[in-house]
Chains A and B, each alone.
Chain A
Amino acid sequence: MNISRRLSAVLLAGTVALSASTAAFAQTTLLNVSYDPTRELYKTINEAFAADWKAKTGQAITIRASHGGSGGQARAVIDGLKADVVTLALAPDIDAIAKQTNKIPADWQKRLPNNSSPYLSTIVLLVKKGNPKSIKDWDDLVKPGVGVVTPNPKTSGGARWNYLAAWGFALQKFNGDEAKTLDFMRALFKNAPVLDTGARGSTLTFAQRGIGDVLIAWENEAFLAFEEFGHDKFEIVVPSLSVLAEPPVTLVDGNADANGARKVAEAYLQYLYTPAAQKIIAKNYYRPLDPAAADPADVKRFPTLKLLKIDADFGGWPATHAKHFVDGGTFDKIYTPGK
């Protein structure tokens, strides 16, 4: 008797706590499902937006965040993670959600300025202080004995930008000869012994565990590691050519409507384009759309380099994705795990 009464008390307590937490969750919170390296950026943005929203509407709001490899995060939203907004590393991941759930309209990318990308970035190289392997450009990554750290393009959005940057360089170097470009990529990935699932995992592999000689990384991630681990440990190498990375954001209409949060979710995304947010964006090492709004000292940190564009130089994401990253694409051709 005693035992069963105690057990039912525990179960009851659990149920009450559960219903209380879901009720609280439904009213005042917004869930932003994002990719790996944006943790620090959105921590600051969320605080700033919550204060701004409170000042304008008087409504207090809690913004929740979930971070992980961009592809895996998209997968979770498809499987039912109730994101009100998604802020992922590249458009195909949001396209996948739109296609498989009908929670996002197919033309989502036209809803916000600049193809729904409120901030930009590029791909650079991070090496150990003093650059012991004298790595200056993408060529140096295919040399024997150079350990390359990059995440897995199958799960990580950043890794796909990394892949395209190297691909674009090789294609230019070999004057458009695709067979030679494939060989170049094969040699590059032969030098990459570990492929983490997300960009942050790779940063930790390189910076914390000291594996490899060069990290191919988001510019923002390279700067962050540079600041976190100390200027005396690493240096950033800017390659001769890279890609203009455009990480997109969008409302997950189906979830936001069910959550009754469409209005605040839309405001949240629009806030990203305001001067206040652009300033935070530049401070967190992302390239702002509107450099005039940012602190000039922050803008000065970004090096000028030749950047390939996904639409103009690669023929847009759908074609690029189909060519390189689907099963049987160029990545599957050049990469054999464990070799």
Chain B
Amino acid sequence: MPESVVHREPVHRDRDVARESRRIERVLIGVAIFILALFFFAPLAAVFYEAFRKGVPAFWKAIADDDTLSAIRLTLLVAAIAVPINTIFGVAAAWAIARFDFPLKSFLVTLIDLPFSVSPVVAGLSYVVLFGSRGYFGPWFAAHDIPVVFALPGIALATTFVTFPFVARELIPLMQQQGVDDEEAALTLGASPWRMFLTVTLPNIKWGLLYGVLLCNARAMGEFGAVAVVSGRIRGVTNTLPLHVEVLYGGFDLAGAFAVASLLAILALVTLVIKTALEWRHAEELAVKRRH
């Protein structure tokens, strides 16, 4: 008889444990959702609520304002400069690192991460020190009548710096994992290196590349710190969207500030949707980068 008692008890305990763990699971999920709602969903909802609080006409008036339109144009232009540069650089760097061995390789990998570890304000200030009119190269540019800081080139430079790692960081692990077999096969079959790149390498990395470009673009349009330092905040000329939000907020124009902020929020949501779609449809190819 003692046997049966001994035998029964663990079964009971197993059920208890199962029930207990299910309860813990539910509590944990509940806490996670609550925190997400509190810290992510609520601010996002507040942005849209404030943006439309004074009605749709007020919203459109803020968006159609000359200074806002100029900020939108500048932001798109800066992204159109920074994203292609970083895409080309990112593919080249990832290729070099994944395919070849060379001295200082690990140093280069570390260097690519530098913009992630340095504060954007420091990045902006360093450009002022380099290209400001009392900086190292500033006088030369001034003498040749090329504006750098407090103009588009400076803003594009700072943005490019800050968004430097996104594409390379996505591609390096992906290309390392894929290996060189496909490419070597193409070369053996007589393809030129350029043709090999376009018909073998690029199709292999396209989803990872798109993912990196997407993140790079989101950050390029949303960057505040580095751009704030080099912008000079001339309304209608060197104010990007994030800077314009601050200008409107400082001008007691809460509705306007949130209307413009909602544009950035929409950008974030669109990025999120595309990102999720990419992850969902191309999970396998993208899986590598999750380890990073």
Contacts and interface: CB of A to CB of B under 8 A. Distances in A.
Interface of A: 7, 10-11, 13-14, 17-18, 21-22, 25, 31, 36, 39-40, 62, 64-68, 76, 78-82, 100-101, 200-201, 204, 224, 228
A80 B135 CA distance: 9
26 contacts: A10-B84, A18-B77, A21-B152, A21-B237, A22-B147, A39-B251, A40-B251, A62-B236, A64-B235, A66-B232, A66-B233, A66-B235, A67-B247, A67-B250, A78-B134, A79-B132, A79-B150, A80-B131, A80-B133, A80-B138, A80-B149, A80-B150, A81-B149, A82-B147, A224-B252, A228-B252
Interface string B119-131: 0000000001001
A79 B235 contact: no
A192 to B, nearest CB: 20
A64 B249 CA distance: 19
Contacts of B232: 66, 76, 81
Contacts of A25: 237
Contacts of B250: 36, 39, 67, 200-201, 204
A14 B132 contact: no
A242 to B, nearest CB: 24
Nearest to B148: A80
A22 B77 contact: no
Interface of B: 77, 80-81, 84, 88, 128, 131-135, 138, 142, 147, 149-153, 232-237, 247, 249-252
B234 A64 contact: yes
Nearest to A24: B237
B50 to A, nearest CB: 12
A62 B234 CA distance: 12
Contact of A68 (B84, B132, B233): B233
Contacts of B235: 64-66
B150 A13 contact: no
Given A67-B233, A224-B252, 14 more contacts: A7-B84, A10-B80, A14-B80, A25-B237, A64-B236, A64-B237, A66-B235, A79-B128, A79-B133, A79-B134, A80-B133, A100-B134, A101-B134, A200-B250
Contacts, number: 75
B136 to A, nearest CB: 13
A81 B150 contact: yes
B199 to A, nearest CB: 12
A273 to B, nearest CB: 25
A306 to B, nearest CB: 31
Given A14-B80, A79-B149, A7 B88 contact: yes
